[in-house]
Chain A
């Protein structure tokens, strides 16, 4: 398997623009997680899905953020409108949901909002 795939790897946009981050989890994994990592706040869970259904979105910072998982092999995280404070590395991870808490992270998308 190719592992978790994220695109784009880098995104530079201007404040107010819409940003869409994409993720393809490992085939057969039932859980998908979106994280944000910054120096100030560390690694934060934004939202996670089980079998394509959002389970916990309490980490989503505000209404400007939304996430979808239309099928088992694809998820998006959208920011509209983007702001400079959204600049961060966004990771997608997937998990088979076994007893140990092993999650498989994608390479991340480095987002810069000017």
Chain B
């Protein structure tokens, strides 16, 4: 089976940098994804790591260490609109199913 662990809540101030960690246990692993979900909205894709290392997309970066079964999402120059829930997910590759973590609620304060 699959299990993923994330902190339930993180609070940071506007303009700061925050890191959301994710550890996973899987029976088969192809990649780690990150999704953002605002209250009342749908999850939207942020990033994907299949190989070890850092992937950067604007203010967001995602890191993966396959040997440690660990990844993180790094958000820089935080803005109020970044307040949302962030989910890590592991998948079977391509169109295969994703298993989502329990989500981390990020609160950005002034």
Contact = CB atoms under 8 A, between A and B. Distances in A.
Interface stretch (A60-68, A70-78, A79-87, A89-97): A89-97
Interface string A14-58: 000000000000000011010000000011010010100001100
B48 to A, nearest CB: 4
5 contacts: A42-B102, A95-B95, A101-B89, A104-B45, A107-B41
A99 B91 CA distance: 10
A30 B93 CA distance: 14
A33 B48 contact: no
B42 A103 contact: no
A43 B94 contact: no
B87 interface: yes
B54 to A, nearest CB: 16
B81 interface: no
Interface of A: 30-31, 33, 42-43, 45, 48, 50, 55-56, 91, 93, 95-108
B33 interface: yes
A102 B33 contact: yes
Nearest to B31: A101
Contacts of A91: 42-43
Among the interface residues B50, B91, B95, B100, which one has the most CB atoms of the partner chain A within 10 A? Answer: B95
Nearest to A58: B97
B7 to A, nearest CB: 14
B42 to A, nearest CB: 4
A102 B45 contact: yes
